[in-house]
Amino acid sequence: MRPVGSIEIYDTTLRDGAQAEDVWFSVEDKVRVAQKLDELGVHFIEGGWPGANPKDVDFFRIAKTIPFKNAKLVAFGSTRRASNSAQNDPTLKSLLEAGTHVVTLFGKSWTLHVTDALGISLKKNLELIEDSVAFLKNHKRQVFYDAEHFFDGYKANPDYALSTITRARNAGAERIILCDTNGGTMPWEIKKIVTEVIREVNVPLGIHAHNDAEMAVANSLIAIEQGVIQVQGTINGIGERCGNANLSSILPNLNLKMKQEAIASERLSHLREVSHYVAEIANLVPNTHQPYVGDSAFAHKGGVHIDAVRKNPMTYEHIRPETVGNRQRMLVSDHAGKSSLAGKAEEFHIKLRKKSPKTRELLTTLKQLENQGYQFEGAEGSFELLMRRILGTHKPSFELMGFRVIVEKRQASEEPISEATVMVKVGTVIEHQVAVGTGPVDALDHALRKALDKFYPELREVKLLDYKVRVLAGNKGTASRVRVLIESGDQKEKWGTVGVSENIMEASWQALADSIEYKMLAEETLSDKSSP
C-alpha cells in the first residue's frame, strides 16, 4: 500500500465540468464551489482557462484574496500558437497573469490532431510543447503537462506519443497527465499503455479520463493501480459530452476499496454534502441513483432485503452509508412486507410490531393506495402521516370545508389570472380566505396559508420547493388520473408529499394539505422533545 496522501486529487469541475451541457457557473458560483472543494480536501483545483474568457480572469483575480487551506489553485491553458514565440503568446501571458503557482498546460499527442487540427508538422508540435513548458518554468511556475488524446495517439503511433511527453519532461514538467480525451479507451488498454509509459518515462504520471464508454472511473482506478499518482476528475462526473471521471465515486473507491487515503477519512464523510452542493450550484437535479452519494445508494425496497438489512446492514450494503455522509433508507411500496413497514416506522420513531393488526391494516392500505397510483418513495411526509392516521396518533391541525379555484383569461395578450378561495375549520373557528397566484396551485397554496396564518405562524417558514405532475394512464386523455408530488422545506429540513386524483387540483390539494400537516407534526414532535 502506498503512503497516506501519495495520491493527488486534481479537481477540474470549474473548468472541464463547466463545459457540460446545461451547466453554467457565474464567477461567484466558481468561488463558492472552490471553497467547498478546499474544505473536502482535494489537492488541486483547476479554476479555469484565463486566456479563454473574462469570467475566468475575474475568478483568478478574486481567488488570489482567498486563503485556501488544503488545495492549490491551478490555471489551465494550451501550448503557444505556432505563429507566436513563447514570450509573445497571449495564452501563456494570461496563464502568468492568473497568478497561480501551478499551471496545467495541454498539448497534442496524437499525430491526427497535429496534422489535421493544428495543421503543422510533427516536429513543430514538439517545439511548441518544449518551448511552452520551458517558458513557464523560467517564470517559476510548477507545470503539469496534459497530454491530450494520449491513449489514442499512443495506439496510432506510440513512438511519437512518447516523444511528446518526453519533450515536456525534459523542459521541466513535474507531472505528465495521460488523457483519454475521447473517452473510448478500455481498462485493459489503459493498464497496458500506462505500464509501458512508466517504463519509458521517468516522471510522475497522472490520469485524465472521459466517460464516453462508461469507463472513466474504472480507467482512472486501474491507472492508479499501475503506478499513476494523480487522478483528475469532476464532482458528479459532469463534463463535456458524457462527462469526466467522477470524483464522487473515485474518492470513496480509493479510500475504502483500494486503501489509498487520498483525502482524510473524516473529510470523506462530507462527500455527499459536496456532491449535492455542486449539483445545486450547477442547477442540476442530483442523480438519485449515483453510487455512494445518491439518495438511492443505500435505499432498500424489497421486503426480503429490508428484513435482512435490519438484522445486519452488511447483507445488502457494501459500506456504511455514514462513511460518505449518506444514510440508509427503507422505501415503502406495494413490494413492502411487515419488516419494511416496521423498519420505516423505526425511522419515524413510531412503535410498530410486525404481528400487530395495525401493521396488517397499514400494509393492506398501502397496497390499495399504490394500486390507485400513489407513490410514497418520494413522499415520505405523506407516508408518515398515513402511518400515524391508521395508528390513531395523528390529530389534524385543520379541517377542509371547501375550496374553489378560478382561472380567467381576459385578453389573448394577457397572462391568465388565478384566484383561489379556501374555507377551513381550526378547532371551532371557521376561516375563509381568498388569494391570487401565478398559477392555480400557487393561488391555492397562498389561500391555504392565509387561512391558517393566525393559528400557525410557523407556516411562514415553509416554502414550496418543487412541484411535479405525472399522468398515470394516458388512455383516458385529459380525464386521466394524475399524481402530484410536492417537495416543501423550512430552515431545518425538506419533505415530500403526494396526491392522486382525476382532477389535478384535487391531487394538488392533497399534496399541499399533507405538506402543511407534516410541518405541524414536525413542530409538535420538536415541542415534545423540548418539554421537561
Q: Which residues contact 292 (CB under 8 A, 6 or more apart)?
A: 248, 249, 252, 271, 272, 319, 324, 326
Query: What pLDDT score does 530 carry?
Result: 44
In Å, how far are 80, 121, 144, 163, 184 from 127, measured between CA atoms?
10, 10, 17, 11, 28
Q: Hey, which CATH number is domain 8-281, 3.90.660.20, 3.40.1180.10, 3.20.20.70, 1.10.240.10? A: 3.20.20.70
Query: What pLDDT score does 531 carry?
Result: 42
Residue range(s) in the chain whose domain bears CATH number 3.30.160.340: 373-391+461-532
CA–CA distance, 118 with 243 (Å, rounded to integer): 25
Residue range(s) in the chain whose domain bears CATH number 3.20.20.70: 8-281
Query: What pLDDT score does 285 carry?
Result: 80
Give the closest residue to 496 by CA, choosing from 478, 519, 480, 515.
515
Judge whether 377 and 331 are in contact, CB under 8 Å: yes
Residue range(s) in the chain whose domain bears CATH number 3.30.160.740: 398-455
Query: What pLDDT score does 174 carry?
Result: 97
Residue 289, phi-psi category: left (phi > 0), alpha (psi -120 to 50), beta (remainder): alpha
Q: What is the CATH number of domain 373-391+461-532?
A: 3.30.160.340
Residue with cell 511519437: 160
pLDDT (tens place) for every residue of the chain, 532 residues total? 455 558 999 999 999 999 999 999 999 999 999 999 999 999 999 999 998 888 999 999 999 999 999 999 999 999 999 999 999 999 999 999 999 999 999 999 999 999 999 999 999 999 999 999 999 999 999 999 999 999 999 999 999 999 999 999 999 999 999 999 999 999 999 999 999 999 999 999 999 999 999 999 999 999 999 999 999 999 999 999 999 999 999 999 999 999 999 999 899 999 999 998 998 888 888 899 999 999 899 988 766 777 788 788 899 999 999 999 998 877 765 455 666 677 777 778 888 777 788 888 888 888 888 888 887 867 889 989 998 998 888 889 999 999 999 999 988 888 899 999 999 999 999 999 999 999 999 999 999 999 999 999 999 999 988 888 888 865 555 557 899 999 898 888 889 899 999 999 999 999 999 999 999 988 776 555 444 4
**Torsion sign over Cα 445, 450, 452, 458:** positive
Phi, psi at 209, each rounded to 5° = -115, 140
Beta strand pairing call for 494-501 and 482-489: antiparallel
Q: pTM here?
A: 0.73
Query: What pLDDT score does 1 carry?
Result: 45
Query: What pLDDT score does 141 carry?
Result: 98
Q: What is the CATH number of domain 398-455?
A: 3.30.160.740
